[in-house]
Amino acid sequence: MKSIIITGGAGFIGSHVVRLFVNKYPEYRIINVDKLTYAGNLANLKDIEDKPNYRFVKADICDFDTMYALMQEEQVTGIIHLAAESHVDRSIKDPFTFARTNVMGTLSLLQAAKLYWEAQPEKYEGKRFYHISTDEVYGALEMTHPEGITPPFSTQASSEHHEAYGEDFFVETTKYNPHSPYSASKASSDHFVRAFHDTYGMPTIVTNCSNNYGPYQFPEKLIPLFINNIRHRKPLPVYGKGENVRDWLYVEDHARAIDLIFHQGTIAETYNIGGFNEWKNIDIIKVVINTVDRLLGRAEGEDMDLITYVTDRAGHDMRYAIDSRKLQAELGWEPSLQFEEGIEKTVRWYLDHQEWMDNITSGEYEKYYDDMYGKR
């Protein structure tokens, strides 16, 4: 039997991973370790909270003694580590918290796993420490490729577009070049994970994923924030010119990749995970506006005038785009959803779960950024 700690399971991606593992593997024991920061929400897991193979533990990953004791108590064989401070804007205001959780928290887990696993007769055999990271550690890409070709923005392409459009994507060997305190802290944690493999032989895996979207995302991130604002006819704060590009992946496709890699990925390897789906912010915002309007029975595009250009994010990375051909070639993973389908499902979910949204939006989180982007 496998006994797996999933950290950050009350957050956005973590809740999808916990749900997938609890439902798909009734023979595993799944221990969700989450501090329940502002971003953690147990309502994300209501449907599985009573399952016999699930346990929730409210704890801080930085608390080494608690992590070590829990690993001993649960005889943990696997760790899937998602807990983190995840929002770039917050990291600009409060970098210390990001270094504490993302760097020291990861180190605390690594050290606890090392001491616990090394004390077992079989040591690292059958064990796995899987660290979930981000494409942001690679820095930013140019808008046009070196050959002067513009990538196929705003259409979901297949992996073939990577063949056609050259090499200007993040690959697993791209040099780390983080710009924000968030990405610097994630890069640092990635280095620690790899160092534990190289130094102690810990069986680690790291994956770097692009922007996720889908249900249960905290509404400070672009897509859920904008869906909710459109619904309430509040301004949509677009940073800078709205020209920045992100590569969007439906969250359940990420969870599926995590499942596959946890079970079949090669130890010490890195896998990039992405949607082959690059969008300029302003274009994706227009799609979201049209979709919300249509689903609310308004005239499509009627809320375009909510678009409000505000001060740009400090150090705003221009473009992220993942080349996930390694994952496709080695493990056969591909995104399952076309973007049109994914965004429709997502908008519909938020509109159908207004109570979930209202329970979060006390208003405080919106005020958090007033000094950076102006009052919304």
Active centre residues (catalytic): 135-136, 182
Is residue 320 a contact residue for ligand DAU (CB under 6 A)?
yes
The one of ligand DAU, ligand NAD, none whose footprint includes residue 244, by CB under 5 to 8 A per kind, is ligand DAU
Residue of this chain nearest to ligand NAD (CB atom)? 11
Residues 195-224 that bind ligand NAD (CB under 6 A): 209, 211-212, 218
CA 29 to chain CA centroid, nearest Å? 23
**Residue 270: beta bridge partners?**
206
- Work out how close the CB of 324 gets to ligand DAU at its nearest, in angstroms, rounded to a whole number: 13
Stretch that binds ligand DAU, among 97-105, 134-142, 188-196, 354-362 (CB under 6 A): 134-142
Query: Are the C-beta atoms of 54 and 32 separated by less than 8 Å?
Result: yes
- Residue 276 falls in which region: left (phi positive, over 0), alpha (psi -120 to 50) or beta: left
What are the two backbone dihedrals, phi and then psi, of residue 272, each rounded to the nearest 5 degrees? -90, 140
- Work out how close the CB of 294 gets to ligand DAU at its nearest, in angstroms, rounded to a whole number: 22
Is residue 60 a contact residue for ligand NAD (CB under 6 A)?
yes
- Work out how close the CB of 102 gets to ligand NAD at its nearest, in angstroms, rounded to a whole number: 7
Nearest C-alpha neighbor of 102 from the set 143, 145, 135, 131: 131
The one of ligand NAD, ligand DAU, none whose footprint includes residue 13, by CB under 5 to 8 A per kind, is ligand NAD
Structure tokens at 8: 């950050």
Is residue 238 a contact residue for ligand NAD (CB under 6 A)?
no
Query: Are the C-beta atoms of 132 and 13 separated by less than 8 Å?
Result: yes
Instruction: Work out which of 141, 225, 249, 306 binds ligand DAU, going by CB under 6 A.
Output: 225
Query: Are the C-beta atoms of 254 and 218 separated by less than 8 Å?
Result: no
Residues 135-164 that bind ligand DAU (CB under 6 A): 135-136
Strands 307-310 and 236-239: parallel
Nearer to ligand NAD, 210 or 291 (CB): 210
Instruction: Work out which of 88, 132, 251, 292 binds ligand DAU, going by CB under 6 A.
Output: 88
Query: Are the C-beta atoms of 100 and 157 separated by less than 8 Å?
Result: no
Interior/surface letters 108-131, b for 16+ CB within 10 angstroms, e for the rest:
bbbbbbbebbeeeeeebeebbbbb
- Work out how close the CB of 146 gets to ligand NAD at its nearest, in angstroms, rounded to a whole number: 26
The one of ligand DAU, ligand NAD, none whose footprint includes residue 197, by CB under 5 to 8 A per kind, is none
**Residue 208: beta bridge partners?**
133, 272
Residues 31-70, one symbol each (x = binds ligand DAU by CB under 6 A, - = not), give ----------------------------------------
Nearer to ligand NAD, 298 or 326 (CB): 326
Residues 268-287 that bind ligand DAU (CB under 6 A): 281
Residues 228-257 that bind ligand DAU (CB under 6 A): 237-239, 244, 246
Nearer to ligand NAD, 99 or 306 (CB): 99
Angstrom distance (rounded) from CA 135 to CA 187: 10
The one of ligand DAU, ligand NAD, none whose footprint includes residue 276, by CB under 5 to 8 A per kind, is none
Query: Are the C-beta atoms of 13 and 255 separated by less than 8 Å?
Result: yes
Residue of this chain nearest to ligand DAU (CB atom)? 134
Query: Which residues contact ligand NAD (rule: CB under 6 A)?
Result: 7-8, 10-14, 34-37, 39-40, 60-62, 82-86, 101, 105, 132, 134, 186, 209, 211-212, 218
Query: Which residues contact ligand DAU (rule: CB under 6 A)?
Result: 86-88, 134-136, 210-211, 221-222, 225, 237-239, 244, 246, 281, 313, 320
